[in-house]
């Protein structure tokens, strides 16, 4: 709160990962502390930051990196950190749940409390991003989390390409959207660079829903030994924070560590969102076609 206003300061972190867990956790903690020193209340760390993005390969041994949600040592460490600093931290991790595996995120509140789990809904499968080998489709549905500072929606990487996910979270009351990410070059096509497309899609989500949006991506070159030889991805960073009209208010480059910071007046944004009319004028009765895969027989 500032002078009776609900003002929140958000942060997106960006760094390169190694194949050493302790190094990556130390880097994440160092940058969380740096964001806190800059006044951040909610701090987003990138997707699967505990190690290399292993989904470049289909390897059985990588399943050993998965751990159960309850008692997860990285989550416990981040709970202690969040409580010490009084900040909210969404924490991405590779989850094992009996014989199922998920690409998951847990939201840690400013007192260190575990507010719950979201499991990635949209699972990609393409050269360099072979997530379907490792992850079951998420079964939590899109969720929002009431934190100390704001009601937030958190989805993961490939989810960010789907406007339905962003709208579902905002319909449930999300005031800010967060997307931890791991995206970069395409091993099958050196000429394909998706970074601007990636940004514009999420800027559209922010503008269409009149909410701020935060995206955190990794940087650096990662080489993974696959069943067909080595695969290489250069992650392009460009982490950013967008305002409620889709405007970029803070952005990182494609090579350097970053701690992005932006401040938003949530009550002012709420008034603008309500007065703009996009939620007043929605026609859910006409959207049944969205429940189909091919647009036929929507049973309107």
Active site residues: 47, 120, 157
Residues 6+ apart with CB under 8 A from 88: 41, 42, 43, 82, 107, 108, 109, 110, 147, 148, 149, 152
Q: How far apart are CA 190 and CA 268, in angstroms?
A: 44
Count CB neighbours of 168 within 10 A: 18
CA distances from 8 to 37, 61, 151, 167, 252 (A): 14, 42, 11, 21, 20
Count CB neighbours of 184 within 10 A: 26
Count CB neighbours of 223 within 10 A: 13
Residues in the chain: 300
């Amino acid at each position: 709160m500032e002078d009776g206003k609900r003002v929140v300061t958000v942060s997106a972190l960006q760094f390169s990962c190694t194949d050493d867990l302790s190094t990556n956790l130390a880097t994440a903690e160092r940058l969380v502390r740096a964001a806190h020193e800059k006044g951040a209340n909610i701090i987003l760390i990138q997707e699967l930051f505990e190690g290399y993005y292993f989904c470049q390969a289909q390897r059985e041994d990588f399943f050993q990196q998965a751990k159960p949600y309850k008692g997860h040592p990285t989550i416990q460490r981040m709970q202690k950190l969040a409580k010490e600093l009084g900040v909210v931290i969404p924490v991405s991790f590779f989850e094992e749940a009996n014989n199922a595996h998920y690409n998951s995120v847990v939201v840690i509140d400013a007192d260190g409390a575990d507010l719950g789990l979201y499991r990635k809904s949209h699972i990609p499968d393409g050269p360099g991003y072979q997530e379907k080998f490792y992850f079951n489709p998420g079964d939590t549905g899109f969720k929002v989390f009431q934190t100390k500072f704001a009601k937030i929606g958190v989805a993961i990487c490939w989810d960010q390409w789907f406007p339905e996910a962003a709208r579902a979270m905002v319909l449930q009351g999300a005031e800010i959207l967060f997307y931890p990410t791991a995206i970069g070059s395409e091993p099958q096509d050196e000429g394909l660079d998706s970074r601007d497309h990636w940004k514009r899609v999420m800027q559209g989500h922010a503008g269409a829903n009149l909410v701020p949006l935060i995206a955190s991506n990794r940087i650096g070159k990662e080489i993974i030994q696959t069943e067909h030889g080595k695969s290489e991805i250069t992650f392009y960073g460009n982490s950013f924070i967008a305002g409620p009209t889709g405007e970029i208010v803070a952005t990182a480059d494609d090579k350097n560590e970053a701690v992005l910071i932006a401040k938003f007046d949530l009550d002012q944004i709420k008034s603008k969102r309500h007065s703009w009319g996009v939620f007043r004028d929605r026609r859910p009765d006409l959207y049944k076609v969205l429940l189909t895969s091919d647009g036929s027989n929507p049973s309107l």
